[in-house]
Amino acid sequence: RGGPVIAVDGPAAAGKGTLARRLAEALGLPYLDTGLLYRAVGRLALDAGRDPADPAQDIAQTLSPDALRRPDLRATEVAEAASKVAAQPLVRAALVETQRRFARESGAVLDGRDIGTVIFPDADLKLFITASPATRALRRFLQMGGDTTAPEAAQKLQEMEEALRARDAADAGRETAPLCIASDACVIETDTLDAASVLAEALRLARARL
Ligand code: C5P
């Protein structure tokens, strides 16, 4: 490989994306958000009026780079569809090569669920980023422009936390490439850390290992 591969895995809304993007920038490596691949497949399945639980490998096999640039991949319904297509072994198989190829030339930082366990079991550094469901729900709420002083805030937060827990349970419980901590991963709990501190910790680990 032309450079180091850094795997950043963890549950939904733990801060993986923010960390992976900043880490890639700091180290001068390309960055791939692998969740976008599954989101794009889920989005196209919904667009075609299909149940995302139905076989979707045809979509994964013909996924174009343009499909990853769509602005509407962040919606909750798309995340849920992504989780359903991501449980299909044939969908995952269709996306493996794209992810490996991405890092071939100059290494990369990739974030997802199975980067350190399946896609790059020999990654130079594996980070598992996590936080409590309540913390993650609050972050996602604020990210979406939510106001914690609004009368419906508590109810909304509760709903978001339940949705995150349900998606994590599906991702951790599936048979193929479930969300789990690689035996050689460094776990970073981000409940009491801001993004700058998470980056500092990741850079410390990177400097010690790369
Ligand atoms: O990370 P993000 O929330 O964008 O991922 C959406 C969904 O895609 C996840 O809930 C998971 O089911 C799936 N995913 C996956 N493997 C990855 C990245 C995402 O199964 N490497």
Residues with CB under 6 A from ligand 1: 12, 34-35, 38-39, 79, 82-83, 86, 112-115, 167, 171
Predicted TM-score (pTM) of this structure: 0.97
Nearest atom in ligand 1 to 84's CA: 12
Question: Which of 113, 114, 129 has the most ligand 1 atoms within 8 A of CB, as the residue to mutate?
Answer: 113
For every one of its 210 residues, what pLDDT tens digit does the chain have, with 9 covering 90 and above?
Answer: 789 999 999 999 999 999 999 999 999 999 999 999 999 999 999 999 999 999 999 999 999 999 999 999 999 999 999 999 999 999 999 999 999 999 999 999 999 999 999 999 999 999 999 999 999 999 999 988 999 999 999 999 999 999 999 999 999 999 999 999 999 999 999 999 999 999 999 999 999 999
Report the CATH number at residue 94.
Answer: 3.40.50.300
User: Which residue range forms the structural domain that includes residue 64?
Assistant: 5-209
- In the chain, how many domains are there? 1
DSSP states along 95-140? HHHHHHHHHHTT-EEEEESSIIIII-TT-SEEEEEE--HHHHHHHH
Closest protein CA for atom 14 of ligand 1: 35
